[in-house]
Amino acid sequence: MKSIDKYLFQALDNYPYSLEETIESLDYALSYDDKNTMALCLYGRVYTEQLLQFEEAKSYFQKALAINVNALEVYAYYIETLLLNEDYDEAEKLIEFAMTVKGSNKAELQLKKIQLFERKQEYKKAKALLKDMRLAIVNNDYNYCIEETEKRLTEKLKLIAPKKKKKKSKNKKSSK
């Protein structure tokens, strides 16, 4: 086992429970190989998920993908960062590209696209994509997520649906 792997495994094992040890291990890993896409991705995650510094996180993800466009570990986290930062056009382009990358998790990418449309309040588009996601899954891991997403979208569609006016019913009073 190479030293970089040892430090990378330590960083992955420590994240997110021990951030200090995570960063220390990542720094060691990147000192051995500053082009390690897994380490760069985890650094991006730290900046997104812990520090909420989306622009800094984006730079780590971009660097990882510039090194290796097939770094499959990067796409879902990078897209999530773009969504959180409200970079919707960029997120949509990245999703479309990631769908073409061999070996990418198509179901996860479909879910990100659904989240994109939901954030843009395009609920009908988001709900329509659930069918594509169902077709993309090859195990039961996403079934609960699909069901809950569908419920949430249905509720949102109900909230924005125009209210139908109730017809006044004519009550006939019988006289005795």
What is the mean pLDDT, run by run of 10 residues, along the chain of 176 residues?
87 97 96 96 98 98 98 98 98 98 94 96 93 85 92 93 65 51
Q: Which pLDDT belongs to residue 1?
A: 64
Q: Which pLDDT belongs to residue 78?
A: 98
**What domains, with CATH codes, occur in the chain?**
1-104 (1.25.40.10), 106-163 (no CATH)
Q: Which pLDDT belongs to residue 162?
A: 80
Task: For residues 24 and 161, give the distance between their C-alpha atoms in angstroms, rounded to a whole number.
Answer: 52
pTM comes to: 0.88
Q: Which residues contact 3 (CB under 8 A, 6 or more apart)?
A: 28, 32
Q: What does the DSSP assignment read for 105-164? A: -HHHHHHHHHHHHHHTT-HHHHHHHHHHHHHH--SGGGHHHHHHHHHHHHHHHHHHSPPP
Q: Which pLDDT belongs to residue 165?
A: 63
Q: Which pLDDT belongs to residue 173?
A: 53
Q: Which pLDDT belongs to residue 167?
A: 59
